[in-house]
Amino acid sequence: MTLVEEHGRWSVAARDFPTNRGGLCRKGWTAAELLDAPDRLRSPLIRDRKGGKLRPASWPEALDRIASKMQEVLARFGADAVGVFGGGGLTNEKAYMLGKFARVALRTANIDYNGRFCMASAAAAGLRAFGIDRGMPFPMQDIAETDAVFMVGSNPAETLPPIMQYFEAQRDRGGQFIVADPRRTATAKLATLHLQLTPGTDAALANGLLHVAIQRGLIDDEFIALRTTDFERVKRTVAKYWPDRVERITGIPTALLAKAAEILGEADTAMLLTGRGPEQQSQGVNNVLSFINLMLALGHSGKAFSGYACMTGQGNGQGGREHGQKADQLPGYRKLDNPAHRAEIAAIWKIAPDELPKPGLSAAELLDALGESIHCLLVVASNIVVSAPDATRLVERLKSLGFLIVADIFMSETAELADVVLPVTQWAEEEGTMTNLEGRVILRQRAKEPPKGVWSDLQILKAVADRLGRGQYFSDNNREVYEEFRRASAGGAADYEGITYERIVAEDGMFWPCPSVGHPGTPRLFLDRFGTDDGRAKFHSVDHRPSAEMPDQKFPYFLTTGRVLTQYQSGTQTRRIADLNAAAPDPFVEIHPDTARGLLIAEGDLVVLESRRGRIAIKARLTRDIRLDTLFVPFHWGAAGSANVLTLAALDPVSKIPEFKVCAVRLERASTPVSATGETAVASYLN
Ligand SMILES: Nc1nc2c(c(=O)[nH]1)N[C@H]1C(S)=C(S)[C@@H](COP(=O)(O)OP(=O)(O)OC[C@H]3O[C@@H](n4cnc5c(=O)[nH]c(N)nc54)[C@H](O)[C@@H]3O)O[C@H]1N2
Ligand SMILES: Nc1nc2c(c(=O)[nH]1)N[C@H]1C(S)=C(S)[C@@H](COP(=O)(O)OP(=O)(O)OC[C@H]3O[C@@H](n4cnc5c(=O)[nH]c(N)nc54)[C@H](O)[C@@H]3O)O[C@H]1N2
Ligand SMILES: [Mo]
């Protein structure tokens, strides 16, 4: 992607890059509009007292205020009382520096990031089963070559349009394309078989498929014996998932279950890809493990054009998860609770290993501790007021917090609550590397001068570290940071040692692990051995269990949440792009017409959705593409239309991902005026 200027406006020009073959989704084509957006933040803002207004301030004043507040909190409550919340949109350099800033400048244990809300379950499952977590263990082009694709709870036709060409090519070659999703999405419409499961029943579906595959002799005994461990327990577990029991749990007719098992079992090569559907659940890790079990048992792993992959989401969703933004993690996928890893990173950072904090609170836990054990929070590249679960409670927490600092490009819903807001540069205005969902490291060149008064995140971190007396450990020069980060990653699972800026440019991106400058990089993982200590993939026996909150008489419908094509995430960016916003300007709920009829709801009506945590009023959109028992609300809006007012913070015990994809709600037409259940910013529209 390159940037061109025409008549003083910036726009994006695609070039032939191997991943998207010059294709770019609509969000990419229009992103340049944001560079000139009239309401971009251009000066730091300070709120002098709680309840007061934000006012413009100079950089020195804002930075002094931040450092003195941080020092006050550190002195009074200890280092762990300062929290840091990062984002998967940050470049590798920034993500690395944010992790180091927390551990070395603040010395807090409490840093986590929005990736915990994203693919954390897939990451944890991949690590357990394969020993390495890389979104895709193969280049994207391989998708076109596989015989069968099984897409579980991912809707790339709307969320990753540039890569749909590979799925289309796969299908055009006569390949099978199975989709499991409670909605008949744009992606499901392209499928040769759609399994429209009940939300939250993925592990039952996977176990049922494996049950059928075993019964019909479709499993690969040789592969299981040579390249895996622990199959026997899984075999015993899935014996309980006979097809009519699975039909009762998932709603998928036994004939379709058998058909899917046959397609996958008879294919020579197959890929299974998960999206946020099965992952953002309180049993997200188990869900993913159950699908991995299926692929291992069928022998569709550890060979070309086959395997399990996770469709990683954000700009740097892969790189952002490798280098220390996570509460338990050090650069290069190292672990904070591993003494050898601590010593390696402490040496690079020139500190003593015991100066490093212990693992801290995960994202949702950290937000839950605001105002209790956390008294100051720095948010860099996330709009948590819109994107975190149980939004009403979060807003209360943020209001009870001593001091909130937000670094953003725009006045997001979260920035609106801050005590100090810092304006930052965005993608085209700075250099930096990103690692895409294939594990391919790419270099984003600086194409344009940033506006005056705007700083990069690296400059901010360095300037605050200076004021905390720790500046000697930090650089704000992107290339210097990258060189340090390369060394820090060396020897870790995600090894970037051999990936220089020059090689990235010359080779059009490079795949990690790449342990030396003479190493070619690793486009395909696991062909000879898996990343575990014994080189074998590991089965995990997994049972289905009901979601944390199931529909009942009072809240009779499943609510699931997700995305639409023309809005991005919390909407801070896309709601500002006229063309994109026009296509989906208002929040809405998808309802099956037969469900709507019983409630006297017509297309376009204002309806009230209520869960145990809050209520919102949005427009009804009737569609036969959704199950009768399920409602779908995209999460791109705040305030009156915030899906996350309804969701709950039930967490997966391993990945700590919140259950964004399943909760129970009531639905009614908003005929009479409705009143707010509580005194909160996000629910006040209902007054
Ligand atoms: N247009 C657009 N594109 C985006 C983004 C965006 O905000 N807008 N965000 C980016 C990011 S960060 C991410 S993480 C990706 C996410 O990309 P996806 O994973 O494709 O997105 P979602 O819409 O969250 O969820 C996918 C599907 O899961 C289904 N689902 C819901 N509940 C269940 C369930 O219980 N089981 C199963 N199997 N499926 C279920 C939903 O119906 C939905 O169609 O998209 C990236 N791309
Ligand atoms: N109900 C529900 N909730 C969800 C999800 C769901 O499916 N359902 N999905 C979850 C997922 S997968 C994700 S990834 C999260 C995403 O949700 P968020 O973490 O809120 O992500 P964004 O909306 O992308 O917010 C990024 C913010 O950072 C700013 N920004 C962009 N680049 C930079 C930068 O370089 N530096 C700084 N300082 N700021 C920058 C943007 O302007 C924006 O305000 O939402 C999660 N929430
Ligand atoms: Mo995400």
Q: Which residue CA neighbors atom 44 of ligand 1 most closely?
A: 155
346 C-alpha to ligand 2 centroid (Å) = 30
Q: Which residue CA neighbors atom 11 of ligand 1 most closely?
A: 313
Using one digit for the tens of pLDDT, what is the confidence trace for 350-361?
999 999 999 999
Which numeric CATH code is attached to 37-117+316-511? 3.40.50.740
Q: Which of 665, 605, 655, 592 is nearest to 128 (CA)?
A: 655
* Predicted pLDDT of residue 19: 57
Using one digit for the tens of pLDDT, what is the confidence trace for 331-350?
999 999 999 999 999 999 99
Residue 685 has pLDDT above 70, yes or no: no
Closest-lying ligand to the alpha carbon of 386? 2
Domain ranges of the chain: 1-36, 37-117+316-511, 120-311, 557-686
Q: Which of 567, 306, 351, 364 is nearest to 465 (CA)?
A: 351
Measured CA to CA in angstroms, residue 330 lies from 119, 397, 623 at distances of 18, 28, 46
Closest-lying ligand to the alpha carbon of 276? 1
- Residues 41, 410: contact at Cβ < 8 Å? yes
Q: 557-686: same fold as 37-117+316-511?
A: no
CA dist., res. 296 & res. 219, Å (int): 9
Enter the pTM of the model.
0.95
The residue behind tokens 């820090």 is: 488
682 C-alpha to ligand 3 centroid (Å) = 22
Which numeric CATH code is attached to 120-311? 3.40.228.10
626 C-alpha to ligand 2 centroid (Å) = 26
Residue 223 has pLDDT above 60, yes or no: yes
Q: How many CA atoms are closer than 13 Å to the CA of 165, on its beta-carbon side?
A: 12
Q: Which of 101, 113, 117, 575 to mutate to test the pocket of ligand 2 (most atoms within 8 A of CB)?
A: 117
264 C-alpha to ligand 3 centroid (Å) = 28
Instruction: List the structure tokens of 524.
Output: 């395909």
Cβ count near 15 (within 10 Å): 9
* Predicted pLDDT of residue 27: 56
Using one digit for the tens of pLDDT, what is the confidence trace for 160-199?
999 999 999 999 999 999 999 999 999 999 999 999 999 9
Cβ 521 under 6 angstroms from ligand 1:
no
Q: Which of 409, 574, 645 to mutate to test the pocket of ligand 2 (most atoms within 8 A of CB)?
A: 409
The residue behind tokens 């079992």 is: 265
Residue 643 has pLDDT above 80, yes or no: yes
E strand spans, 49-198: 54-56, 82-86, 111-113, 148-152, 176-180, 193-195
Q: What DSSP character marks residue 571?
A: S
- Residues 226, 303: contact at Cβ < 8 Å? no
118 C-alpha to ligand 1 centroid (Å) = 9
Closest atom of ligand 1 to 312 CA is: 14
Q: Which of 248, 281, 288, 366 is nearest to 548 (CA)?
A: 281
pLDDT band at 684 (very low <50, low <70, confident <90, very high): very low
Cβ 310 under 6 angstroms from ligand 2:
no
Fold of 557-686: Barwin-like endoglucanases (2.40.40)
Residue 683 has pLDDT above 50, yes or no: no
Rounded mean pLDDT of 365-369?
Answer: 98
